[in-house]
């Protein structure tokens, strides 16, 4: 039987509304800090216990409230920030709905202590599940302190969907980091810990510019590398900092966009950023961006999302175009556009290519095949030419059919060998292989990357990697949230991947050892990119063997890409033949670890059809 329409209980209504605003501990911090900033605070101190699940305390030196205002503030749809419908059309504060504090006290045990200027004493409210338990006077300087305990104690369904304390605290760090970027003149602190002691996790003293805040949170190296962005249009002002193409990440987590001091997630703006960097970055890399948009409040609608994370612009095309053009101009202003310098081909290499049509001889007996090391081979060939020695003979290996080896399993290689031969090289980048069915084009860089990837991955997964101690440790700085995540996984990185890190200050780490197979030529930038990719995976909650294998794959892929022979590198017939042989012995000779195609096949019948032979 269908139920009759009925009116919901006020307590149930309050809990439903709270679920729209308070998603996790970081949501509480966000709403309370917004109230502090709207109250004119110049200092905001946040303390968290148990990742915010046990306790959150936000204290400020803002205007404070009277006893009457405090009692009203914890009720739904009460606010001092708007009064009329016209006010809603031009929001100039971070908060305005009058729902945040009421939602927080509905799902927690909350203590609010506030004092306005000139008041003889502060007012303290003790609230549990939205019900005021006690009101009394208390001492406190001007401002407000809100203490939230046992979040979601009366909504267990919501609590069980939260992640671990460590993950929830990482979200809190990100929230406060964004406030520090958007409001550089305010002094922010974040501490964590219980009765056993507090630990300062983040501090952002008052600064003059966002660049100074970036230096405090991310380190001076990144702050110095960032490019200034500035543009002006009708009812719009764009300012900010963007990273040159040499500084990038594997995800968009460090793309910060603020509209009138409010952090927002806007797909259209993210698309504008991506289009601005198009051609400057590989497809799997993303820029570091800090953008601050000042928009006429009448030209932007912030009343779109319960958590005020989305906005709607009156003229989105103007905003997107201005942002894109401003970033492009910043990139070009510092000569950040990449340039391609083709390598000159030596006479010896030209002779080598003219001999490349020689057929490959049968495969050598097991154990006698050469080890693939193209960079070493290039150096040896160069020394031979300089000493006037004759070129080395071709490797005595035939090329097996890729599909048969890939799909046939063990023993398929010996049965699948055919009379294939390397015909030559195109543009120092693509290897041409003739087969009975036609011919194949092989991208030498991604082919070499696949070979090295499987070799490195096997080393990592086979009983743990060997570590190589660095003679001079590398010093790397990370944002506070990433530093906390690294700190929690130091033993895992060391024991399972051979990456040995040591905490060296609030945000810095010393890299003391690296997997031996990948340690040669290790640079701070490469180490940082590898660790950033690992951090993306370490934020997952599944753990176990699957994540360790995924971590190993990321490390192996990173090293393989850096070590593989690059395009525009002429290779001898012997080097090309050995590379193709090694490629067809891999588990997947068709795709590199990042998903790019390695081999393109052209059937003989298609050629004959093109020339009118069929």
pLDDT per position as a tens digit, 44-89: 999 999 999 999 999 999 999 999 999 998 987 666 654 555 544 5
The number of beta carbons lying within 10 Å of the beta carbon of residue 179 is: 23
pLDDT, tens digit, 9 for 90 and up, residues 11-37: 555 555 555 568 899 999 999 999 999
CA distance linking residue 352 with residue 385, whole number of Å = 12
Q: Buried b / exposed e across 214-239, counting CB within 10 Å, b at 16+?
A: bbbbbbeebbeebbebebebebbebb
The chain-wide mean pLDDT, for the chain, equals 80
Contacts of 193 (CB under 8 A, 6+ apart): 49, 199
What is the DSSP code string of 167-199? HHHHHHHHHHHHHHHH-TTSEEEEEE--TT--E
Can you tell me the mean pLDDT for 143-165? Answer: 90
HEC-encoded secondary structure of 132-155: EEEEEEECCCCEEEEEEECCCCCC
CA distance linking residue 103 with residue 129, whole number of Å = 10
Q: Are residues 111 and 124 in contact, defined by beta-carbon separation less than 8 angstroms?
A: yes
CA distance linking residue 4 with residue 10, whole number of Å = 18
Instruction: Check for a shared fold between 211-333 and 373-387+394-614.
Output: no
Q: Buried b / exposed e across 23-35, counting CB within 10 Å, b at 16+?
A: bbbbbbbbbbbbb
Which ranges of 409-538 would DSSP assign to H, the alpha helix? 412-416, 444-461, 480-488, 490-492, 524-538
Can you tell me the mean pLDDT for 101-126? Answer: 94
> Looking at the domain 10-196, which fold is it?
Heat Shock Protein 90 (3.30.565)
> Which of 95-99, 239-243, 569-573, 598-602 is modeled with the greatest confidence?
239-243
Contacts of 4 (CB under 8 A, 6+ apart): none
Domain extents in the chain = 10-196, 211-333, 373-387+394-614
Contacts of 490 (CB under 8 A, 6+ apart): 501, 503
pLDDT, tens digit, 9 for 90 and up, residues 355-372: 333 333 333 333 334 455
Q: What's the pLDDT band for 144 if we cut at 50, 70, 90?
A: very high
pLDDT, tens digit, 9 for 90 and up, residues 455-502: 888 877 775 667 889 999 999 999 888 888 888 888 888 887 788 999
Q: Are residues 51 and 164 in contact, defined by beta-carbon separation less than 8 angstroms?
A: yes
Q: Which CATH superfamily is domain 373-387+394-614 in?
A: MutL, C-terminal domain, dimerisation subdomain (3.30.1540.20)
Q: Are residues 169 and 484 in contact, defined by beta-carbon separation less than 8 angstroms?
A: yes
Residue from 258, 244, 96, 281 nearest 182 by CA: 258
Q: What is the CATH number of domain 211-333?
A: 3.30.230.10
């Amino acid at each position: 039987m269908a139920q009759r329409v009925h009116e919901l209980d006020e307590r149930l209504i309050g809990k439903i509304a709270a679920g729209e605003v308070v998603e996790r501990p970081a949501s509480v911090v966000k709403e309370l800090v917004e109230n502090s900033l709207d109250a004119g605070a110049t200092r905001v101190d946040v303390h968290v216990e148990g990742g915010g699940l046990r306790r959150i305390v936000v204290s400020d030196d803002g205007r404070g409230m009277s006893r009457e205002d405090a009692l009203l503030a914890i009720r739904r749809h009460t606010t001092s920030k708007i009064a009329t419908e016209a006010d809603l059309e031009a929001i100039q504060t971070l908060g305005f709905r009058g729902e945040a504090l009421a939602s927080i006290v509905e799902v927690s045990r909350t203590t609010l202590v506030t004092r306005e200027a000139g008041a003889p004493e502060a007012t303290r409210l003790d609230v549990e599940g939205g019900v005021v338990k006690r009101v009394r006077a208390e001492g406190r300087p001007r401002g407000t302190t809100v203490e939230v305990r046992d979040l979601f104690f009366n909504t267990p369904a919501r609590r069980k969907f939260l992640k671990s304390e460590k993950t929830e605290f990482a979200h809190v760090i990100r929230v406060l980091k964004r406030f520090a970027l958007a409001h550089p003149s305010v002094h922010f602190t974040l501490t964590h810990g219980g009765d056993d002691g507090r630990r300062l996790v983040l501090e952002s003293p008052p600064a003059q510019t966002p660049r100074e805040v970036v230096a405090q949170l991310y380190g001076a190296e990144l702050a110095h590398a960032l490019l200034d962005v500035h543009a002006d249009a009708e009812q719009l002002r764009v300012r900010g900092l963007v990273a040159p193409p040499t500084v990038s990440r594997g995800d968009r987590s460090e793309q910060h966009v603020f509209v009138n001091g409010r952090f927002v997630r806007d797909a259209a703006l993210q698309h504008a950023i991506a289009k601005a960097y198009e051609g400057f970055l590989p497809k799997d890399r993303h820029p570091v961006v800090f953008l601050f948009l000042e928009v006429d409040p009448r030209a932007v609608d912030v009343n779109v999302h319960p958590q005020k994370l989305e906005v709607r612009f009156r003229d989105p095309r103007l905003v997107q175009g201005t942002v894109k053009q401003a970033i492009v101009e910043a990139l070009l202003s510092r000569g950040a556009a990449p340039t391609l310098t083709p390598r000159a081909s030596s006479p010896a290499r030209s002779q080598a290519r003219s001999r490349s049509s020689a057929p490959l001889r049968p495969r050598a007996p097991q154990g006698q095949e050469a080890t693939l090391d193209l960079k070493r081979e290039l150096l040896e060939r160069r020394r031979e030419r300089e000493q006037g020695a004759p070129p080395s003979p071709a490797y005595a290996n035939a090329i097996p059919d890729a599909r048969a080896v890939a799909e046939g399993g063990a023993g398929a290689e010996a049965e699948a060998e055919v009379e294939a031969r390397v015909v030559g090289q195109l543009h120092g980048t693509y290897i041409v292989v003739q087969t009975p069915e036609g011919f194949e084009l092989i991208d030498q860089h991604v082919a070499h990357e696949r070979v090295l990837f499987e070799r490195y991955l096997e080393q990592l997964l086979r009983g743990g990697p060997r570590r190589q101690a660095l003679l001079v440790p590398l010093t790397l700085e990370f944002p506070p949230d990433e530093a906390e995540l690294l700190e929690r996984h130091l033993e895992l990185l060391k024991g399972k991947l051979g990456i040995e890190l040591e905490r060296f200050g609030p945000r810095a780490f010393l890299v003391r050892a690296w997997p031996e197979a990948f340690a040669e030529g290790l640079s701070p930038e490469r180490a940082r990119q590898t660790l950033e990719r690992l951090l993306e995976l370490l934020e997952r909650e599944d753990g176990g063997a699957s994540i360790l294998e995924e971590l190993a794959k990321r490390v192996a892929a990173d090293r393989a890409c850096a070590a593989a022979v690059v395009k525009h590198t002429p290779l001898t017939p012997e080097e090309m033949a050995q590379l193709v042989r090694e490629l067809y012995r891999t588990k997947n000779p068709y795709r590199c670890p990042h998903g790019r195609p390695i081999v393109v096949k052209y059937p003989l019948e298609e050629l004959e059809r093109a020339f009118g032979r069929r």
